[in-house]
A and B are shown apart, each in its own frame.
Chain A
């Protein structure tokens, strides 16, 4: 419990558990990006592939949304940072009573559900548009404008919190000294307060950009018929999942880690420079390590590594392995088909009446369960006329599986031991 005694076993194990919960899902998602299986998963591992990155880049809706998101993000930064700064300055100098009221008002956009903010934004600006007699082609019904306004409403509050935190450490005697020495109040603002807030402006700009980019709840209402990167992503996830989304996660996590490392190098360098240690630090004596620990040098190195990985990945060809997997699966299916035919023949010979009758029942006593239902048990049954396969719908790409959660498909209820085994991609080679 005490710093001097170091951390106890319980502390360490709890920390490990906590960070496993934090990183586990992300790591698993990253790994699935390299499996050729068309549903994101680790087991069974099929082939190492980099094709999903190509699929991702080829998705025109996502890439179009990326452009929209960048435009909105820049607009939000340009508006939310000054508004947040104004809010923080106002809060820092009001009388306590007024400050509490204003703080409550300004903090509510963070607490109000994003859905409510989005709705109120389109309703209000639609009303304004109608008051001016504008039609649907005007800015008041434009998804970009509405999203910008809707996001600024609450993202400004994030910026405000950052500025408030920084302002609390401001020493007002600096301003007083400047005023005593004959500076005008405007000069004090520009030459003392703004430079003091400069780091906060940087981090506020970064956070507002990120918040704007990530926002879904408000944007999904205000964007109207358009789509941003996040809304396009969400509709893709809802309609069906494939590992190209994991590939996107790999890219984002990679960028995040690079950013974090460069930022860490920057803060370390700053603290070294401040403490005056660089002269005696061994890192600075050696020119190689000196370049490597400089943030710019580190950034160049990381970008180089990333470029090499991208080039190496683009050269990787997994088609041979995927063809093998496909052939293997076909062989297994042939085998199962044979067994099943054998079984049916036997059952017919035994003339048990239950076998053909339970075609539609879910509690199928057959060890093959529902998987072989429509074609296998009763080849001439009318329920599956469009499906010539003896495996019925079970192997149709997308029939049961790529998104078993989205549709209340029979998959979860399937009691067959083979139920899950063949689902998503048994017959479907990765067509890309």
Chain B
């Protein structure tokens, strides 16, 4: 508390009373009313029964863990694995997409930072940014045009005689993984670029002069510098992929579900907001837990994210 008061006094001294009140009020409103309280409300809500409006606050309105036990046990108290499997699959797929993004973006970030010159760099930066001004939904739609049963790839393959029956890329989730990989490339490139750019080129050249092969240069010299960038990008890509809703809805096959789609169903189709909240809490806890674990394993600080 005293620390906050000191900070406030510091602002008053530096920027004047008006600016200090503005900063304090805005940050307070943001942290309390937009970030902390809504999450707590959701947590509280997830422990309640789905009651008609008249009964809310009445004697039946008590805390319960039914919404969480439903996730594991289903309606009949036997272990149900369908939702658990969906969660597991979502996490695995998110890890997979993140790894592909790292593999795709590390070389381009390195090229951008150390090989490209002048005009080429500017063009590449513009070329990286421009596709991401196009709406997320339309980007997913583009992959549907590419991979649909009558889509461009099938049309091309069939007319070339490579295969004669349309390949169902949608059902095989190829479209979904490509779409997700594409969707968050930018969030991977720029953190890695920022990290790699700080590397002194002389270090690379020294290593090469000493006879290191190019992969050894990358492994021993570039990668350690790029690590915080990779961690930051990977965290963002992983969280956004695991929390993606639009791409799985548009590109997901009829049989495959994303965990966010389950939440969406509880809200919009079953009108069971409490259970939806419980599932949202599960998603949040699992994602954050997983990221924390990996940060601990790779010894990265959360302060590095977003830089």
Contacts and interface: CB of A to CB of B under 8 A. Distances in A.
B231 interface: no
B38 interface: yes
A43 B156 contact: yes
Interface size class of A (residues with CB under 8 A): 35 or more
Contacts of B107: 14, 18
Given A25-B182, A111-B236, A256 B144 contact: no
Given A121-B38, A419-B165, A249 B158 contact: no
Nearest to A267: B122
Nearest to B26: A86
Contacts, number: 325
B68 interface: no
A174 B120 CA distance: 36
Interface residues of B, number: 118
Contact of A233 (B3, B30, B137, B235): B137
A25 B306 contact: no
A411 to B, nearest CB: 5
A119 B291 CA distance: 22
Contacts of B281: 116
Specify the main secondary structure of chain A where it touches its partner.
Answer: helix
Contact of A3 (B25, B29, B34, B114): B114
Given A111-B305, A217-B244, A26 B152 contact: no
A44 B151 CA distance: 10
A123 interface: yes
Contact of B185 (A22, A161, A184, A414): A22
Interface string B149-184: 111101110110000111010110000000000100
Given A100-B303, A256-B134, A408 B254 contact: yes
A201 interface: no
Q: Give 10 closest A-B pairs by Cβ, nearest first.
A: A113-B243, A186-B16, A86-B26, A120-B38, A124-B41, A124-B38, A25-B142, A185-B16, A120-B42, A43-B155
Interface of B: 3-4, 6-7, 10-19, 22-23, 25-27, 29-31, 34-39, 41-42, 45, 56, 104, 107-108, 111, 114-117, 120, 122, 124, 126-131, 133-146, 148-152, 154-156, 158-159, 164-166, 168, 170-171, 182, 185, 201, 204-205, 208, 214, 235-236, 239-240, 242-246, 249-250, 253-255, 260, 263-264, 267, 273, 276-277, 280-281, 283-284, 287-288, 291, 302-303, 305-306
